[in-house]
Structure 1
Amino acid sequence: MFLALLVPYLLSQFYRAFLAVVAGDLSRDLGFDAAGLASMQAAFLLTFALSQIPVGLALDRLGPRRTLAFGMCSAAIGSVFLVISTYPWHGMLAMALIGAGCAPVLMTGFYLIARSYPPNRFTTMSSLLLGLGSLGDPLSGMPLALVVEAFGWRPTMLGMAGITAASLACVSIVLRDPARPAAPSGSITPCAGAKQILVMRALWAIFPLALVSYACVIAARGLWIGPYLEAVHHFGPNALSLSATAMGFAIAAGALLYGSLNRLFGNAKDTVAAGTAATVAGWLLLGLLGNHSGAVALGLLLLVGACGMNFAIVMAHARSFMPTYLLGQGVTMMNFVFFLGAGLGQ
């Protein structure tokens, strides 16, 4: 089961970060300027965020297997459409389809982990899924650059569409839906479920952090690390792809590290507070010192990538306040907040 969940998340991480490497190709072939590239990334992120609402309902009502299968189908179609794109709006639509397709991936994993493991193992298993799956991010760096250089970006993305379709087949064959939990008073309407989640006061202090924390990390890694290092420090193509790969590894390492630190401290709140403080310090130093040295700038970007990846632990903390019968809708609502901030940020 874990492998069937891991591969789609590897693909999801790849798709949300690959634009940093192929931005020049898309600008040349589809006519994107800097604002257009940002809009293309935003199309993925905002569609991803808005899709969390139906994904949450589908997890609780259709089950995780069909929800994830529909998502991977949309991602495969979007990848093929990107391959045949010739105009900017084609690329925007393709990224929107991919974003909608990737939307259920991590939440399906969290949902099945929450239903398959005891609560005290949720943080460990979800951090493991997030950390290992985040290795899809560095795959969109130097490895992608080498493949694109050898074959071109269109054949490369066609290959990714084929891998996505294979993942769809694996999900359909391997995953099984857990028994559906019963609500205390029978059927709960979507609006009633959302209201129950929104009135949980414990979540009110979590929403603002979720809105901004991932937005900063994915904006840098997903697109702007390349243009920034190229314009300010004159990095060449190889240095840019290596830098993007390094930040991807830092994000993956940070996701795994948060799970270990949480077990060490025994308190999610203290762990997140310390990591967030380090992230804020990294961004401030980047603003003050980043223009003096490319090595210093890259080091600070690696720092904020690792320390800013508090997604899994924040999600696990929020999940602890949610009843089982609202688990799908609850975790996807949190994911909506994370990616809404990311999309609006772009």
Structure 2
Amino acid sequence: MSVYQPLFNYLDDMGLSAWREQLQSQIETQLSVRRHGKMPMWQEALNALPNVDLSTMELKNRVDIGTEGDLDGFPRETLVDLLKTFHPWRKGPYRLLGIDIDTEWRSDWKWDRVLPHIQSLHGRRVLDVGGGNGYHGWRMQGEGAELVIGIDPTAVFTMQYQLMQHFIKSDKHFVLPIGIEHMPENLSLFDTVFSMGVLYHRRSPLKHLMELRSCLRPKGELVLETLIIEGELGMTLMPETRYAKMKNTWFIPSAETMMLWLRKCGFKNVRCVDENVTSLNEQRRTDWMTFESLADYLDPTDNTKTIEGYPAPMRGVFIATAP
């Protein structure tokens, strides 16, 4: 059975069969061998995973799934090799059957900054835009969400989610290999929509905000986290070429400008609840993500600047209510 069948059943029960049919086609296309040459390797690794009976599972305070004893003789080293087939591991950390997956990002630190400021997720339908491998989605399920849909077009992140789903077997959390632009217009389905680390990658930030708004039910809550700069109302950094070696960074607003954009798009009760300079301990290279990371993106003589001379990454969390 497809890992997405419980989601398809949920959408059918909601009267959203047209979207369910669209999703089935999109998932098949996005995860096809024709689009991704590594798909046979990933599928082989998924098929080689052990079937275990979990003795423990923690999703609220961390993502800690099972114990090493649950492996019941399956070689730990073999499981580590299978997990590393899905490199790079960017969002986490995870503890799976006694194995610590030390991801590039300490995504739990971001979650700890966000969680105190948002409405309770208990019983809510949640959309996590740009959610990567679903780490925050598992934490959202741990907070009691009725349904969590994460969307991210990067195939390896979807496969990492499917790996975790192999063990967790959730009927509440799903990661789909699509972007916000593939969502139905005027869906108005979700009680809470998260967009964390996405806005600055969009050519039109206002279009992105309107796309997020269209996914929210009336009076639903938007939780947006993005790069910001210090500055007054109206100030925005548009990098000439790259920002921190990222070529797809378009607009980095001041906090006041970000809040203006949200108000311009019709959001109410707009506020900035957190500002945080990204540290070298929060984003770094590890054995599970061996590519370049934050230390390589900063000026080696001045960590307050990127390698291009722009202000080093600072991130803001914004909360707003849909009209």
* Structure number with higher relative contact order (C-alpha < 8 Å, ≥ 6 residues apart): 1
Structure with higher helix content: 1
TM-score (norm 2): 0.24
Structure with higher strand content: 2
